[in-house]
């Protein structure tokens, strides 16, 4: 009797999944796109493990436009969308959800309470509460910290150039360390030298591993995207599964949240009336919370620590690496940026009013759209 019930439930689940897949395929089958290189992985190898980053997408956009169809794993159809307005509409839609593989990874690495792991109304409310700490006025308060970290980076780069007779320096590790220092100090008020070494090392390992992709990982992602496993089981896997990778994921969340609680306790002990407290993200948000101005609980805030350390460090370091690479290729643009900086700094113009500098920074975060500044 029990086996018959299980069989019926599985049959109903598979029938529903097949029906949904057929409906998805019919809805986009008229859209053109490239032929898959295999049934198992479709076009995913060209997209996610390319020989030259961006070549496949650029060729597809030229051939098919801003929206084209490509193949995912197991012959499943997917859409690639490069139109900014369309993406904005999709992301703001209540129907938008992350793929099971991506959503699961976000929850594993950034904790279930992380803003990236929330969807819909929960995400909007949490992001709105956090935005207080990312307003222009708040960011100006962090300026002293950013300038101090930037000066240390400049000094280190100069020392590396003096030590290297060939004049070649790998800037990525230096930018990664500077990004981590900015986050730990501007967000938590903790200098990088005081961040426990296990936090720094685990964070480094996670960031490095996330930057590499192998075909086996693509297959695992595609299996997860078939939605054969229930969400509660996927979320519980890091707590239950054994292996070095899952241990590292558990350590990442545990270490960063412990550091977050230590930072909160430090603010509570010395008081939030100190003007220095407002110069950090956690201090500003805790101050608002104390005054009844914010809707963010202390627990909500601490749960963002892993998100800040991983997402903030990786995106900042990669974006700046891309920017410096492009600037190295375009000496004229370097000269224009220097001229702007010298002229406006002499007039004590704030950084956010440097037009070319801000265009360059924006371009670094829009690299995949081939922002016109670098064309």
pLDDT in tens, 95-134: 787 888 888 888 888 777 888 878 778 888 888 888 888 8
In the numeric block, the tokens 């990004």 are attached to 179
Average pLDDT over residues 191-219: 85
7-65 confidence digits (pLDDT tens): 676 666 667 666 666 777 777 888 999 999 999 999 999 988 888 877 898 899 999 99
Query: Are 202 and 255 a contacting pair, CB within 8 Å?
Result: yes
Question: 166-197 burial, b if ≥16 CB within 10 A, otherwise e?
Answer: eeebebeebbbbbbbbbbbbbbbbbebeebee
Give per-residue pLDDT as tens, 238-282.
Answer: 777 667 878 888 888 889 999 999 999 888 887 766 656 667 888
Which uninterrupted H or E stretch holds 301? helix 298-302
Sequence-distant (≥ 6) Cβ neighbours of residue 25 within 8 angstroms: 77
Q: What is the pLDDT of residue 319?
A: 83
Domains of the chain (ranges; CATH) run: 2-96 (no CATH), 120-329 (1.10.630.10)
Q: Read off the pLDDT of each residue in 189-202 and give the average, rounded to a whole number.
A: 90
The answer to whether residue 332 scores a pLDDT higher than 70 is yes
Q: Which pLDDT does position 52 carry in this prediction?
A: 80
Beta bridge partners of 42: 38
- Using alpha carbons, select from 91, 70, 87, 90 the residue that is nearest to residue 79: 70
- The region, left, alpha or beta by phi > 0 then psi within -120 to 50, assigned to residue 294 is beta
Average of per-residue pLDDT across 82-100: 82
DSSP 3-state assignment of 38? strand
């Amino acid at each position: 009797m029990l086996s018959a019930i299980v069989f019926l439930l599985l049959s109903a689940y598979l029938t529903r999944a097949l029906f949904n897949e057929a409906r998805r395929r019919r809805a986009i089958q008229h859209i053109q796109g490239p032929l898959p290189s295999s049934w198992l992985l479709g076009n995913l190898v060209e997209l996610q493990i390319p020989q030259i980053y961006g070549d496949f997408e650029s060729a597809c956009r030229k051939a098919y436009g801003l929206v084209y169809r490509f193949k995912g794993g197991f012959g499943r159809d997917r859409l690639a969308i490069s139109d900014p307005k369309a993406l904005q509409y999709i992301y703001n839609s209540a129907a938008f959800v992350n793929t099971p593989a991506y959503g699961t990874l976000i929850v594993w690495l950034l904790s279930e309470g992380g803003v990236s792991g929330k969807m819909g109304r929960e995400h909007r409310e949490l992001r709105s509460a956090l935005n207080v700490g990312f307003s222009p006025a708040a960011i100006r308060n962090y300026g002293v910290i950013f300038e101090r970290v930037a000066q240390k980076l400049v000094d280190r780069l100069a020392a590396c150039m003096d030590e290297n007779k060939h004049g070649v320096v790998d800037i990525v590790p230096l930018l990664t360390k500077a990004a981590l220092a900015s986050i730990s100090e501007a967000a938590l008020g903790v200098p990088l030298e005081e961040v426990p070494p296990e936090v720094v090392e685990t964070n480094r390992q996670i960031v490095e591993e996330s930057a590499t992709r192998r075909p086996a990982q693509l297959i695992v992602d595609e299996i997860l995207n078939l939605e054969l496993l229930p969400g509660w089981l996927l979320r519980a896997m890091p707590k239950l599964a054994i292996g070095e990778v899952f241990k590292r994921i558990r350590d990442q969340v545990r270490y960063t949240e412990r550091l977050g609680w230590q930072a909160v306790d430090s603010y509570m002990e010395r008081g939030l009336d100190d003007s220095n407290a407002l110069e950090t993200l956690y201090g500003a948000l805790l101050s608002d919370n104390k005054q009844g101005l914010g809707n963010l609980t202390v627990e909500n805030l601490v749960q963002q620590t892993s998100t800040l350390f991983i997402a903030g460090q990786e995106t900042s370091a990669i974006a700046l690496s891309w920017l410096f690479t492009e600037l190295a290729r375009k000496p004229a643009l370097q000269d224009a940026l220097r001229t702007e900086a010298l002229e406006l700094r002499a007039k004590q113009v704030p950084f956010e009013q440097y037009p070319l500098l801000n265009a360059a920074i924006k371009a670094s975060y829009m690299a995949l759209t081939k922002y016109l500044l670098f064309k």
